[in-house]
Amino acid sequence: MQGFEENDISKNSNGGTEITKRALTEYVPAELVEHFQIIPSRVRDINPEKIRVYWQHDLAGDPEVNHLAGSESRDRFHQFVFSSNWQLNDFVTKLQFPRNKKVSVIETPIKPIEVKQKDFNDKIRLIYFSTPHRGLDVLVPVFEHLAKTYSNIHLDVFSSFKIYGWEDSDQQYEPLFEKVRQHPQMTYHGSVDQATLRNALADAHILAYPNIWEETSCRVLIESMSAGLVCVHPNLAALPDTSGGLTSMYQFDESPNEHAAVFHRNLDHAIQVVANEPIQNYLKFVKAYADSRFNIDKISSQWESLLTALKEEYPTVESRVLAKQMFTYST
């Protein structure tokens, strides 16, 4: 049996790709999946007896996907699945990736987050839960400045490369983590399990995400919408697509200073209005939207439908032979 593949990178990782993959294995029938080799981003080996689905999570500029610029490499796969329309367009633009029946877009699934009535009597809780290189160095100084005005705000930071098994990569961010630890209105949590994170999201009020990394989908944003948070983030890469235009989104600026200034204004406004009843009612609508669009029951059904159709098209090992059977990956 093969199915959703684990490789040398993913087996020690608990990032968004791995969370999604492992969740889907609970929903898509194992007796169907066993006919497939579903490769999440990183190609290492090709199984000639399986139906090969290349499930893409990387950016088109990543060296891991350079081989897809050539038809000889693309012809080794029966189907390509992208996480967003933005990501597919990125591949079309940069790699001249063809749009045909071998290409599908299946969005990132989540299990909806159970949200209780938000409590604003104590503090307004802001949250950042992504790796540090995606914007934490923008967030911390902005929050430090806002904390001088608002004594009732608190920032919870869940951020570490440990989710990928890259503990050494945290070292360059230790001064930033320490700044969070030392501030009375910030708490550094590092890397935690999903249950702990989901509980923190249920208690939070604002996603503070001054993202500077091109997201191909963004589980952080999807889960925050499901948790009923005001989501403050730029319109970078796939974020407008993922948000549905329903969040507190601002124009991304490549200048770090300009980005910080715009983020500061938008986060300040979010702090001022988040407790207002009309805003909280609106966030219930946003939650319903996210829970419907990205619901794992719906997304797993899309996967099941796709795999069923492919199994019918390639029912035997002999039918799965494509242009060139073996693929050797080299760095």
CATH of the domain at 151: 3.40.50.2000
**How far apart are the C-alpha atoms of 329 and 331, rounded to whole Å?**
7
How many Cβ atoms are within 10 Å of 185's Cβ, its own excluded? 18
Per DSSP (E only), the strands in the chain are 3-4, 36-40, 51-56, 79-82, 103-105, 124-128, 153-157, 186-188, 206-208, 230-234, 248-250
244 belongs to a structural domain:
yes
Query: Same domain, yes or no, for 162 and 240?
Result: yes
Residue 119 lies in a domain: no
Token pair 């490499």: residue: 73
Q: Is the domain of 136 the same as that of 92? A: no
| Other Cβ atoms within 10 Å of 330 Cβ, number | 4
Query: Does one domain contain both 104 and 132?
Result: no
| φ, ψ for residue 183, nearest 5 deg | -85, 130
Residues 86 and 56 sit within 8 Å (Cβ to Cβ): no
* Same domain? 76 vs 165: no
Indicate whether 30 belongs to any domain.
yes
Backbone dihedral angles phi then psi of residue 188, each to the nearest 5 degrees: -100, 120
Instruction: Give yes or no: residues 129 and 76 share one domain.
Output: no
pLDDT confidence of residue 141: 98
Q: How far apart are CA 63 and CA 115, in angstroms?
A: 40
Mapped onto helix, strand or coil, the DSSP state of residue 37 is strand
In a domain, 229, yes or no: yes
Query: Do residues 241 and 310 share a domain?
Result: no
- How far apart are alpha carbons 167 and 229 in whole angstroms? 29
Q: Is residue 267 located within the same domain as residue 128?
A: yes
Q: Determine how many CB atoms are found less than 10 A away from the CB of residue 197.
A: 18
| Bridge partner list, 56 | 82
Task: Check whether residue 157 and residue 270 sit in a common domain.
Answer: yes
Beta bridge mates, 231: 207
The residue segments making up the domain with residue 71 are 3-109+295-320
Phi-psi region of 135 (alpha: psi -120 to 50; beta: other; left: phi over 0): left
pLDDT for position 42: 83
For the chain, the domain total comes to: 2
- Full-model pTM: 0.94
Closest residue by Cα to residue 82 from 116, 45, 54: 54
Q: C-alpha angle with apex 60: 5 to 99, nearest 5 degrees? A: 85
The torsion defined by the Cα of 219, 220, 221 and 225, in degrees rounded to 10, comes to 100
- Report the relative pairing of strands 124-128 and 206-208 from DSSP bridges: parallel
In a domain, 114, yes or no: no
Let me know if residue 327 belongs to a domain. no
Q: What is the pLDDT of residue 2?
A: 63
pLDDT < 50 stretches in the chain: 325-331
**Integer Cα distance of 253 and 231 in angstroms:** 18
Q: Which two tokens stand for residue 299?
A: 């997304």
Are residues 95 and 197 both part of a single domain? no
Determine, yes or no, domain membership for 116.
Answer: no
Whether residue 101 is found in the same domain as residue 143: no
Residues whose CB falls within 8 Å of the CB of residue 283, separated by 6 or more in sequence, listed in order: 228, 229, 230
> Would 326 be classed as within a structural domain?
no
Tell me the C-alpha distance between 280 and 273, whole Å: 9
Is the domain of 32 the same as that of 181? no
Same domain, 49 and 86: yes
Contact between 270 and 276 under an 8 Å Cβ cutoff? The reply is no
Identity of the residue numbered 182: Q
